[in-house]
Structure 1
């Protein structure tokens, strides 16, 4: 491999680092907790629909929010209103129910 190609690959990788640095990690029990909460809030929601919605929402959260923001959303001592609003908007846009 030529040195120029190697340098181009290294430069491209360096430019992508900030994008991956923003990605967060969901808590280990996210899916189970999300499904149970979704079904509790909407009594008519089936488990399959809740699992599908929670999977979609999880992908959005991991892609769009940092670890600190995800931890804040999962906290019991109060959630930042702006972070919650942003999460709701992004999840609603990406995870619309199919008719």
Structure 2
């Protein structure tokens, strides 16, 4: 009898776990701005499709490893992010390098 009550409590919580895994840390509009800037820069040395794939990978890595505040600091147009934050970002997206 107790296991039934425990299952009734735990099942809804277990169903919510995938929702928390997809939390988006990008502040409103920031991801689109990142993608636009990244694809424009990457397209200078690789084709558009590959540039988009590379930038999507980078955006996903930043979302996984950074808080909203850190992403906002990285994308700030008024204040340059700290060297530590820039290094952390470069390390996070390092695995997204595509081959020509």
Which runs of no fewer than 5 residues in structure 2 stay unpaired? Answer: none
Provide structure 1 residue ranges, at least 5 long, that are not aligned to the other structure: none
Counterpart of 1:55 in structure 2 is 56
Please give the TM-score of this superposition, normalised by the length of structure 1.
Answer: 0.71
Could you state the TM-score of these two structures normalised by the residue count of structure 2? 0.70
Contact persistence 2:74–2:86 (CA under 8 A): yes
Q: Does 1:75 align with 2:67?
A: no
RMSD: 2.8
Aligned pair count reads 91
Deviations 1:14-72 (A, max 9, x none): 9x6xx75x851151332222111223xxx332211211110100111111111000001
Q: Is the 8 A contact 2:34 2:75 kept in 1?
A: no
Counterpart pick for 1:36 among 40, 49, 53? 40
- Seen in structure 2, the aligned counterparts of structure 1 residues 44 and 11 have a Cα distance that, compared at 3 Å, is closer
Question: 1:11: Cα distance to partner?
Answer: 6.4
